[in-house]
Amino acid sequence: MVLNEEQWIKELREKRIAYGISQGRLAVASGITREYLNKIESGKMKPSKELLETLHKELA
């Protein structure tokens, strides 16, 4: 099953919370600011495909 971007971002947030990882920690590990990650998770910013892959790898 292929997730669309909105579903993927929702899953990213849920997985981050389930793993007990803060936005700040995930952001630093991914090379972005916490504020930018917050905007991605809230749907205010659209991340690049490369960034989505990086975020996924950090939570894998």
Dmax (CA) of the chain: 30
Q: Would you place residue 3 in the very low, low, confident or very high pLDDT band (cuts 50, 70, 90)?
A: low
Distance CA 47, CA 27 (A): 13
Query: From the CB of residue 5, how many other CB atoms can be counted at a distance below 10 Å?
Result: 12
Question: What is the reported pLDDT for 51?
Answer: 94
> Global pTM?
0.86
Full residue range of the structural domain in which residue 46 is found: 5-59
C-alpha–C-alpha distance, residues 59 and 43, integer Å: 19
Q: What is the pLDDT of residues 14-54, one digit of tens each?
A: 999 999 999 999 999 999 999 999 999 998 999 998 998 99
User: How many domains does the structure of the chain reveal?
Assistant: 1
Q: What integer pLDDT is reported at residue 1 of this predicted model?
A: 44
Q: What is the DSSP letter of 44?
A: S
CATH number for the domain that contains residue 53: 1.10.260
